[in-house]
Amino acid sequence: MKKDDRFVKQITPKSADFSKWYLEMIRKAELADYAPMKGMMVIRPYGYAIWENIQRLLDERIKKTGHSNAYFPLFIPESFLQKETEHLKGFSPEVAWVTVGGSEELEERLAVRPTSEAIIGNMYSKWIKSWRDLPVLINQWANIVRWEKVTRPFLRTTEFLWQEGHTAHGTEQEAVDETMMILDLYKEFVETELAIPVVSGKKSEMERFAGASDTYAIEALMSDGKALQMGTSHFLGQHFSEVFNIRYEDKEQNLQYVWQTSWGVSTRLVGALIMSHGDDSGLRLPPNVAPIQVIIVPISIGNWKEDVLPAAKDIERELLQLGLRVKIDDREEFTPGWKFSEWEMRGVPLRIEIGPRDIKNKHVISVRRDTLEKEQIPFSELSERIPLVLQDIQNSLFESALKFQTENTHDVQTYDEFQKIMDSQRGFIKVFWCGEPLCERKIKDETMATIRIVLPEDPHDKKEGHCILCGKDSNKRVLFAKAY
RNA sequence: CGGGGAGUGGCGCAGCCUGGUUAGCGCGCCUGCUUUGGGAGCAGGAAGUCGUCGGUUCGAAUCCGAUCUCCCCGACCA
């Protein structure tokens, strides 16, 4: 769409300045606002409603796979964090500390949780005694604080909301299986509900979670060619069970350390929604998580409150009965045209226009946000048609994001090509890598790209090749990208 | 954390260099009337003490210092 043809004129087009567009979207669509303290934001009702939908849809899946929710304290004694050396090293630069309670200096500082492995490890050591106590499958929805130097709304904030699962198992295999099951669950969830295609795989050593044996992640390509980590699933091995002494007696009466996992996704997903689907006119929210799925705009002409509004309300009632999230915009102070633009900018998937002409002809005009296509739907077919259209929008948002991802995943042969792509349109770059952190480091220094994931084996792909940088023989296919 | 830019009614900005009466403009907001099928028009009105603290000066949005916050680039970052 040419700039001049855009109906929505109050925002910087995404194509003109991606970063500015992103920040404007958040504020103009009223997803969030800056709080007065550095790096902190207020999630406003419209943004929070998206998070609530994410929570609900993910929570269902977490419970369906046998996990239960619980809640652990916000504060963690310093000594707990210190137990796992790598964990401490990884997090200490960004921990916020409580040193005073009321007017009294604390004997031991308390960390505001940057993640909960330590406090949960401590509790698990009390709860787990026998093989009969296993597995422990607990999830918590919580807030997290990390004192980040550079922050961006939703993508990296000082305080954020997330879900963190923490499980303990009797065997290594069981914990590994859990790690992978959750990774798949995340992938399915994000692709189905957020309509964002992701790639999943293991993290390189450099990107591994502090204290984990292995970290797996789902990564998505944003429409500016940068990758965003959307969720992680960690196989913790016995690192935490050893230091927190989480042991159980097995059937043979041997004391064994448990095997653990932890995994999480955060409010960052809201940022991902904005960046993957948004366009020059604003947000394009997938129906499954959109706070409002259908906005009904009555055409306010003449005696519209008596002629048009009742019909609009009938339609609202009918759609509500289908379980849809519907709203009528009956504000008198705005013209229909204004409302069209407003809801377009805010990303509502489907708009229904109804005016005197439509009532006479017993149909409505529906306009889908993703394509801006208009369609006449007879009153009698609304209940049947609207859910289908919404599903189609959900699907086509995914398809177009997938197309973008495919078109921007480059299979390159030379480092020269690699550098050229990173200097221009970016995207995912698929190459062989020798496994040396030194090569990874050098590539990062020269191109800003990091290994997002080590690709799982794919029967369609070559198995052997040469490291893109040093040329050594390699059987590791990896995905490089510039990360958020 | 380093380099650069910026904070002036709700939003976007001008004024600052070369201190000087009531700090302007557009959008938005309020009231009224006319309107309403892709961001309506006219008339009237309200709202800022110039991020914050301190300094220079007869006088500071304007000069100086500190500090907070935001943006961009980099360093760092489950």
Which nucleotide lies nearest residue A91, CA to C1'? B78
> Minimum mean pLDDT among A210-219, A317-326, A401-410, A461-470: which range?
A461-470
Q: In CATH, which superfamily holds the domain spanning A294-389?
A: Anticodon-binding domain (3.40.50.800)
Contact present, A80 and A122 (Cβ < 8 Å): yes
Q: Which two tokens stand for residue A402?
A: 């997938």
Query: What fold characterizes domain A3-277?
Result: BirA Bifunctional Protein; domain 2 (3.30.930)
Please write the tens of the pLDDT for every residue from A332-346.
989 999 999 999 999
Residue A171 has pLDDT above 80, yes or no: yes
**β-pairing verdict for A428-432 and A409-411:** parallel
> Closest nucleotide to A215's CA, by C1' atom?
B78
Q: Which nucleotide is nearest to A231 (CA to C1')?
A: B78
Residue A151: its pLDDT value, please? 94
Query: Across residues A353-378, what is the average pLDDT?
Result: 96
Summary count for chain A: helices (H), strands (E)? 15, 25
Q: Is the pLDDT of residue A382 over 60?
A: yes
**Mean pLDDT in residue range A226-231:** 96
Q: Is the pLDDT of residue A285 over 90?
A: yes
B74 C1' to A150 CA distance, Å:
11
Nearest nucleotide by C1' from A266 CA? Answer: B78
Residue extent(s) of CATH 3.30.110.30 domains in chain A: 409-481
pLDDT band at A263 (very low <50, low <70, confident <90, very high): very high
CATH 3.40.50.800 range(s) for chain A read 294-389
Which pLDDT does position A452 carry in this prediction? 96
| Closest nt by CA–C1' to A483 | B77
pLDDT at A2 over 60: no
CB count within 10 Å of CB A373 equals 10
Q: Which residue is closest to B76 in terms of CA–C1' distance?
A: A149
**In this model, does residue A4 exceed pLDDT 50?**
no
- The model's confidence at residue A369, banded by pLDDT at 50, 70 and 90, is very high
Helix (H, G, I), strand (E, B) or coil at A37: coil
Question: What is the rounded average pLDDT of the residues A442-471?
Answer: 91
Q: Whose CA is nearest the C1' atom of nucleotide B37? A: A299
In the predicted structure, residue A392 carries a pLDDT above the cut 70: yes
More confident residue, A425 or A173: A173
**Å from A39 (CA) to B64 (C1')?**
30
ipTM for the whole complex: 0.94
Q: Taking 90 as the threshold, does the pLDDT of residue A5 lie above it?
A: no
C-alpha–C-alpha distance, residues A211 and A234, integer Å: 9
Please state the rounded mean pLDDT for residues A257-277.
97
A467, A440 Cβ separation under 8 angstroms: no
- How many angstroms separate the CA of A483 from the C1' of B16? 40
Q: Which nucleotide is nearest to A90 (CA to C1')?
A: B78
Specify the DSSP class assigned to residue A7.
S
CA of A9 vs C1' of B46, distance in Å?
Answer: 27
Nucleotide nearest to A38 (CA to C1'): B69
Question: In this structure, are strands A214-221 and A227-237 parallel, antiparallel, or unpaired?
Answer: antiparallel
Task: For chain A, give every residue range classified as CATH 3.30.930.10.
Answer: 3-277
Chain B nucleotides with an atom closer than 7 Å to a protein C-beta: 1, 29-30, 35-40, 68-78
CA of A274 vs C1' of B15, distance in Å? 37
The answer on pLDDT for A1 being more than 50 is no
Residue A215 dihedral angles phi and psi, to the nearest 5°: -120, 130
Q: What is the mean pLDDT of residues A32-38?
A: 93
Structure tokens at A349: 């998937």
Protein CA at A103 to nucleotide C1' at B43, angstroms: 61
pLDDT score of A303 more than 90: no
Quote the pLDDT of residue A3: 36
Query: Do A132 and A13 form a contact (C-beta atoms < 8 A)?
Result: no
- Distance of A113 CA from B36 C1′ (whole Å): 54
Span CA (A448) to C1' (B4), Å: 20
CATH class of A409-481: alpha beta
Residue A277 contacts residue A284 (beta carbons within 8 Å): yes
The token duo for A176 is 């590994």
Please give the average per-residue pLDDT across A440-445, as a whole number.
93
Q: What is the mean pLDDT of chain A?
A: 95
Mean pLDDT over A310-329 rounds to 97
Q: Which whole-number Å values give the CA distances from A419 to A175, A422, A437, A476, A480, in the listed order? A: 39, 5, 19, 20, 11
